[in-house]
Amino acid sequence: MKIKFGSKKKKNEKNGELRTETISDKSRFAIVESYKAARSNIMFSLSADDDKMFAVTSYSKGEGKSTVSSNLAISFSKMEKRVLLVDCDLRRPNIHNIFKVENSIGLSNIIGKMCEFEDVVHRNVIPNLDLLPSGTIPPNPSELLCSARFVSLIRELYESYDYIIFDTPPIGVVADALLLKDLIAGFVVVLRERSTTHGDLQNMLDSIKLADTKILGFIKVGCETSKKRSRRGYYYYQYY
Ligand SMILES: Nc1ncnc2c1ncn2[C@@H]1O[C@H](COP(=O)(O)OP(=O)(O)OP(=O)(O)O)[C@@H](O)[C@H]1O
Ligand SMILES: [Mg+2]
């Protein structure tokens, strides 16, 4: 399946709408449908494990993790399910930019006992979708993500949501994403055309296998067909 994705222009930023990379009612039919297909496949994988939490990751930085996790969260929320998107990238957070919300306090501050979940969660950034931003960039992100307080926070939130989606840093740069392995059903891995190499993919598979966790699926982004490239240079997303 090949799907057109939004243009790189962020022309909606000024009028307060979400960035063009996120899907909305105005998005092309094919884009929305592709995320629905990805959503269905992820739901099947989750239901096999009777689980509701998964993380989105990739091998290198800038491959599209935050964009994909945001779009999956939007897609899941359209099913009238309560969804929480958590920005677990405590080093280069981006989810708050995509949804244009405040990030002065968030996940790191809850774990650091500076505030409570209710103080920092952004309710209904779109209907049914709550957003927990990363918060203040801490000196010790890995320690925070394997702390007992983080685990107990997620366990408490588990009861309040139908789906919880984690955006994470790249596995090839830091091991933070793998620290979530005991909380989640598995990883959705983003591969970017002309960026992710076979070596990257192999290293990532090795890391995930070593961590004894699961891959729920791959989403390939930035695909440009030669036919379309010659016309307008659209980007495509593919889900396997
Ligand atoms: N389909 C797309 N078409 C065009 N640009 C895209 C697309 N997806 C993402 N981008 C752009 O690529 C850049 C990186 O995207 P994103 O922040 O989602 O990646 P990331 O993997 O989360 O990065 P990081 O490793 O820094 O967290 C952003 O500038 C985003 O606007
Ligand atoms: Mg990101």
Query: pLDDT by residue (tens digit) across 88-116?
Result: 999 999 999 999 999 999 999 999 999 99
Percentage of the chain beyond pLDDT 90 is 71
Ligand 1 binding pocket includes 56 (Cβ within 6 Å): no
Please tell me the residue having the least CA distance from ligand 1 atom 8: 64
Please give the mean pLDDT across all residues of the chain.
85
The β-bridge relationship of strands 187-192 and 53-57 is: parallel
Instruction: Please tell me the distance from the alpha carbon of residue 162 to that of residue 168, in angstroms, as a whole number.
Output: 20
Q: Considering the entire predicted model, what is its pTM?
A: 0.86
pLDDT at 44 over 80: yes
For residues 210-235, average pLDDT: 70
CA of 219 to the centre of ligand 2 (A): 15
Ligand 1 binding pocket includes 168 (Cβ within 6 Å): no
* pLDDT for res 223: 74
CATH architecture, domain defined by 52-239: 3-Layer(aba) Sandwich (3.40)
Range in 17-21, 68-72, 221-225 the model is least confident about: 17-21
Ligand nearest to the backbone CA of 13: 1
Ligand 1 binding pocket includes 59 (Cβ within 6 Å): no
CA of 74 to the centre of ligand 2 (A): 16
Contacts of 81 (CB under 8 A, 6+ apart): 128, 162, 163
For residues 31-57, average pLDDT: 91
Ligand nearest to the backbone CA of 63: 1
* pLDDT for res 18: 59
Ligand 1 binding pocket includes 170 (Cβ within 6 Å): yes
What is the SS3 assignment for 92?
coil
- Provide the CB-side half-sphere exposure for 138 (13 A, CA): 21
The atom of ligand 1 lying closest to the CA of 62 is 23
How far is Cα of residue 116 from the mean position of the Cα atoms in its chain? 23
Range in 59-68, 188-197, 216-225 the model is least confident about: 216-225
For a substitution probing ligand 1, which of 4, 21, 90, 100 has the most ligand atoms within 8 Å of its CB?
21
pLDDT at 16 over 60: no
pLDDT at 197 over 50: yes
The β-bridge relationship of strands 215-223 and 235-239 is: antiparallel
Sorted by where each begins, the domain ranges of the chain are 52-239
Owner of token pair 């505030």: 115
Instruction: Please tell me the distance from the alpha carbon of residue 148 to that of residue 103, in angstroms, as a whole number.
Output: 23
Ligand 1 binding pocket includes 94 (Cβ within 6 Å): yes
* pLDDT for res 26: 65
